[in-house]
Amino acid sequence: MYLPVLSFFLDHQFCKLLFFLVIIKSEMSINHVFNENIAKLDKRQAELYKARVQTSISFQDQLGNNNGKIETEIDDSNRNNLYYTNEQGIIFPLNNSYQRFYEQMTNPVTIIFDDGEKSIFDTTDAIGRRSILPNITRIGSKYKLESHGTITTSSANQQLRIKTKLGNATIEEDLMTLPNLSVGSYYSIKIDLLVRQIGNAGEAHISTFGKFQFINNQGLTVSKFLDSENNTTYQTTSIADADITFEWLADGTNNLTVHELSVYMLN
């Protein structure tokens, strides 16, 4: 009489034990997968952090803070690319926001006919540096130069030549014919440079898109667009100063005064 009851009891306990073991094994498997995924995530975050550190160091070097003495371990096969792929095949950007590395301060630059071609930069009163160091530029790097101030012309049909330069290379050049602009008329200029290929002159390639704006005597904003390519004189292997120059081609009371000037980099 007691044997069937005992057998049932033992079978029931065995089932409970078996069920308990299955649950433990399942939890261990889940924890293993979870920990493994966390480890992969940590590794990806570490790689992204290293890439960000490398980018940060590049900008510190732009400012002359570390003289290029700090290095991090980034896969050398990806060093010329704006994006890199980790072991899991995930693509990361090295940096996704512009970094300002030059700002002009209190000294305004005024350009008149007698100056000839003249830079709008005054490095005697500036924060940072406008030099782009050799071999830090990547395919897909971008530079942005922005300036604004006041402009005056003596009469209609006054010509103003604008050049954008990186080192000895003229990246963009444009000759504009301006209307009569009253004293204190406002202007702004924004230049975007996109690196399409790196290397020595003849193999490096950079594209320019810019916009020069001014407010005419009727209070209207007039825009003139700048667009060019350079794959002959542009290079990334030696130091190059970012620059914008203006030149008036006629005498008179023509003048342009720079009140603010910034240089940014997206590397």
Q: Which domain holds residue 34?
A: 1-94
pLDDT at residue 88 in the model: 61
Query: Is 77's pLDDT higher than 70?
Result: no
Question: What tokens does 263 get?
Answer: 């240089």
If asked whether residues 124 and 144 sit together in one domain, one would say yes
67 — pLDDT class (breaks 50, 70, 90): very low
If asked whether residues 72 and 202 sit together in one domain, one would say no
- Higher pLDDT residue, 12 or 212? 212
If asked whether residues 173 and 248 sit together in one domain, one would say yes
If asked whether residues 137 and 215 sit together in one domain, one would say yes
Gap between the Cα atoms of 136 and 239, Å rounded: 10
pLDDT at residue 1 in the model: 52
Q: Provide the greatest CA pair distance for the chain.
A: 124
For residue range 127-185, list pLDDT tens digits in order: 888 999 898 888 889 999 999 999 999 999 999 999 999 999 999 999 999 999 999 99
If asked whether residues 190 and 72 sit together in one domain, one would say no
For residue range 86-136, list pLDDT tens digits in order: 566 665 555 566 788 889 887 789 999 999 999 999 878 888 889 998 988
If asked whether residues 38 and 132 sit together in one domain, one would say no
Gap between the Cα atoms of 236 and 238, Å rounded: 6
Closest-CA residue to 192 (of 228, 162, 167): 228
Total structural domains within the chain = 2
Gap between the Cα atoms of 265 and 178, Å rounded: 30
If asked whether residues 211 and 82 sit together in one domain, one would say no
Give the amino acid at 58.
Answer: S
